[in-house]
Chain A
């Protein structure tokens, strides 16, 4: 029992000297300020948007303000999430990316129904009291630190001045006066007490804030998750149907057609040869027909090989690094691969990563005017495979206007992966694909 008390007391008293406390207090300070700012922005924009949109003339402007408020809330949510990670090492996954609508009404509708953004708004509103406590906590701690220095201050800066020294003590009443060097020790003790109180208040309120961040800024409730899964499942089904259609089309227009032509050439050649052995027909014609047949057979083989590779690249059997090396070797722009893969990803993930790389290299070749492509694939943290394709081209790629990237994003989202694009005008362009190791 005694030992328990001593241990608890030890933890309580040692807390101010840990690195964690510094982080928690920093979070209180930065998070508190961003919280107040976020609250103000949100309230002003929401209030303005709502009041303006009530009047007939202001509807459009009001709606735009509302949408702006929602977009800002999403951004602020991201900022708060990142703060929680940087300072508290508290990781919360981002909510699913916003799915842009098509057509103006649909876009507005989607924005207004963006649940992640509305949850961001809720966080911004709820954050105000939390931020107040956080700012109070860091204030107490800072004042406490100042109070602790009183004995030193008395000695260094008193220089014979008369009158009391005012000690700020925010916990009880606000201030008290000390009249002598001995009194400054009291101030120091009060200061230590403030530091301790601030530390623990910070920890307590941050624990509450973490919960808010998780529940309001994280990847949503079960129902949203379900609708996200439904959406990505539809994409997966459509994607595979489209892939099959492509295969059928390639077969129909490629190998099947060439083999039909081959059969026709051979049929005509046989006709020319006639039925009996004696007849020696026009051998030049027969040779010409056989040449055509031969060409068609070779072309059909090439078509089938391309098609088979398109369905499943055989190089993948030896793992992503060697498959990507093969891919890079056939790139029109010089491409280099660095791979650092720990656990081998699931086959479906490897296939997606491979086709992403192929598509991204093709995109770079078509649009970037690059001299060099770098392909970087590595496993990250736990359970994340990251593929980065960078080119030193002209940049300016736009995810919204490149159907290729949108298609990739769809394919990747079916396994809960995501794509990020960085392509400032002038380059370089980096596309980063994040995939789970297991599908």
Chain B
């Protein structure tokens, strides 16, 4: 069971998320509508993770993001899942600047797949990463490591993208409908080709991949 704080100004989505999470046995400690209330709620409830809409009152621009960045400084142990209708490269860059541990950035569309959304949130709560495929493809496009990426086979690029989203080997295997062993082989090959240190832990693996893409 996770303890969750939600910051979302649209009532429909706020209530929907609350219900979705409670249905799955999680506890929603607070559901608030702006950045200040988010910080106050996190301080009060010390949740495992916060789901934060980026655009909230009063300016409807990026107050959610700013609140989330402040929150990560003040409460590093609490995961943050940004939840937005857009993926902005500059937002994901700011969010990942302080490390990818306990960070997520998903399109609101992803909530349609309830199980995956819940899994992503659990990952973030556990100190992992959950990046939207959109974020990852933007990272790929913006990456200066095109030379290295070009040496990968299409399948390996798929696996790399899923790793960057923050998925575990078993999740990648399920997604691509291949065996766990096959994924491990792809991962090893990717790390060799890109010259990354092999690492067993999912979290540190994500960091390495994101660092590589960002470099």
Q: Which residues of A contact B (CB under 8 A)?
A: 249, 252-253, 256-258, 260-261, 263-268, 270-271, 292, 296
Question: Are A257 and B10 neighbours in the complex by a CB distance under 8 Å?
Answer: yes
Question: How many angstroms between the C-alpha atoms of A256 and B19 in the bound complex?
Answer: 20
Question: How many angstroms between the C-alpha atoms of A257 and B56 in the bound complex?
Answer: 13
Asked if B200 CB lies within 8 Å of chain A CBs, one says no
Asked if B108 CB lies within 8 Å of chain A CBs, one says yes
Q: Which residues of A contact B10 (CB under 8 A)?
A: 253, 257, 261
B33 to chain A, nearest CB (A): 13
Q: Which residues of A contact B112 (CB under 8 A)?
A: 263-264, 266-267
Question: Are B85 and A268 neighbours in the complex by a CB distance under 8 Å?
Answer: no
Question: How many angstroms between the C-alpha atoms of A292 and B19 in the bound complex?
Answer: 13
Question: Are A264 and B60 neighbours in the complex by a CB distance under 8 Å?
Answer: no
Question: Are A257 and B13 neighbours in the complex by a CB distance under 8 Å?
Answer: yes
Q: What residue in chain A is nearest B107 (Cβ atoms)?
A: A260
B67 to chain A, nearest CB (A): 18
Determine which of B55, B85, B111, B115 lies in contact with A264 in the assembled complex, contact meaning CB atoms within 8 Å: B111
Among the interface residues B12, B17, B108, which one has the most CB atoms of the partner chain A within 10 A?
B12
Question: Are A256 and B111 neighbours in the complex by a CB distance under 8 Å?
Answer: no
B5 to chain A, nearest CB (A): 18
Determine which of A256, A265, A267, A270 lies in contact with B85 in the assembled complex, contact meaning CB atoms within 8 Å: A256
Question: Are B114 and A260 neighbours in the complex by a CB distance under 8 Å?
Answer: no
Asked if B23 CB lies within 8 Å of chain A CBs, one says yes
Q: Which residues of B contact A253 (CB under 8 A)?
A: 10
Give chain B interface residues in 1-51, CB to chain A under 8 Å: 10, 12-13, 16-17, 19-20, 23
Determine which of A252, A258, A268, A296 lies in contact with B20 in the assembled complex, contact meaning CB atoms within 8 Å: A268
Among the interface residues B60, B114, B117, which one has the most CB atoms of the partner chain A within 10 A?
B114
B51 to chain A, nearest CB (A): 12
Q: Which residues of A contact B16 (CB under 8 A)?
A: 261, 264-265, 268, 292
16 inter-chain pairs at a CB distance below 8 angstroms, sorted by A residue, are A249-B60, A252-B85, A256-B108, A257-B13, A260-B13, A260-B111, A261-B16, A263-B109, A263-B111, A264-B114, A267-B112, A267-B113, A267-B114, A268-B19, A268-B114, A271-B23
Query: Given A265-B16, A266-B112, A267-B112, are A260 and B85 neighbors across the interface (CB < 8 Å)?
Result: yes
Q: Which residues of A contact B85 (CB under 8 A)?
A: 252, 256-257, 260
Question: Are A264 and B113 neighbours in the complex by a CB distance under 8 Å?
Answer: no
Q: Which residues of A contact B109 (CB under 8 A)?
A: 260, 263
Give chain B interface residues in 104-159, CB to chain A under 8 Å: 108-109, 111-115, 117
Determine which of A252, A261, A265 lies in contact with B55 in the assembled complex, contact meaning CB atoms within 8 Å: A252
Q: Which residues of B contact A258 (CB under 8 A)?
A: 12
Question: Are B12 and A296 neighbours in the complex by a CB distance under 8 Å?
Answer: yes
Scan B62-90; emit 1 where CB is below 8 A from any A CB, else 0: 00000000000000000000000100000
Interface magnitude class on chain B: 10 to 19
Question: How many angstroms between the C-alpha atoms of A292 and B13 in the bound complex?
Answer: 12
Q: Which residues of A contact B20 (CB under 8 A)?
A: 264, 267-268
Question: How many angstroms between the C-alpha atoms of A264 and B115 in the bound complex?
Answer: 11
Q: Which residues of B contact A266 (CB under 8 A)?
A: 112
Q: Which residues of A contact B111 (CB under 8 A)?
A: 260, 263-264, 267
Beyond A257-B10, A267-B114, 10 extra complex contacts between A and B, CB < 8 Å: A252-B55, A257-B85, A261-B13, A261-B16, A264-B16, A264-B20, A266-B112, A267-B112, A271-B115, A292-B16
Question: How many angstroms between the C-alpha atoms of A203 and B85 in the bound complex?
Answer: 73
Question: How many angstroms between the C-alpha atoms of A287 and B111 in the bound complex?
Answer: 19
Question: Are A264 and B17 neighbours in the complex by a CB distance under 8 Å?
Answer: yes
Q: What residue in chain A is nearest B55 (Cβ atoms)?
A: A252
A185 to chain B, nearest CB (A): 92
Scan B143-184; emit 1 where CB is below 8 A from any A CB, else 0: 000000000000000000000000000000000000000000
Q: What residue in chain A is nearest B113 (Cβ atoms)?
A: A267
B152 to chain A, nearest CB (A): 32
Q: What residue in chain A is nearest B15 (Cβ atoms)?
A: A261
A246 to chain B, nearest CB (A): 12
A268 to chain B, nearest CB (A): 6
A355 to chain B, nearest CB (A): 24
Question: How many angstroms between the C-alpha atoms of A257 and B108 in the bound complex?
Answer: 9
Q: What residue in chain B is nearest A256 (Cβ atoms)?
A: B85
Among the interface residues A252, A258, A261, A270, which one has the most CB atoms of the partner chain B within 10 A?
A261
Q: Which residues of B contact A256 (CB under 8 A)?
A: 85, 108
Q: What residue in chain B is nearest A258 (Cβ atoms)?
A: B12
Q: What residue in chain B is nearest A266 (Cβ atoms)?
A: B112
Question: Are A257 and B12 neighbours in the complex by a CB distance under 8 Å?
Answer: yes
- What 6 pairs between A and B have smallest CB-CB spacing? A263-B112, A267-B114, A260-B108, A261-B12, A267-B112, A264-B16
Q: What residue in chain A is nearest B10 (Cβ atoms)?
A: A257
Q: Which residues of B contact A267 (CB under 8 A)?
A: 20, 111-114, 117
Question: Are A268 and B23 neighbours in the complex by a CB distance under 8 Å?
Answer: yes
B52 to chain A, nearest CB (A): 15
A194 to chain B, nearest CB (A): 78
B111 to chain A, nearest CB (A): 5
B73 to chain A, nearest CB (A): 28
Q: Which residues of B contact A261 (CB under 8 A)?
A: 10, 12-13, 16
B132 to chain A, nearest CB (A): 14
Question: Are B114 and A270 neighbours in the complex by a CB distance under 8 Å?
Answer: yes
Question: How many angstroms between the C-alpha atoms of A268 and B12 in the bound complex?
Answer: 14
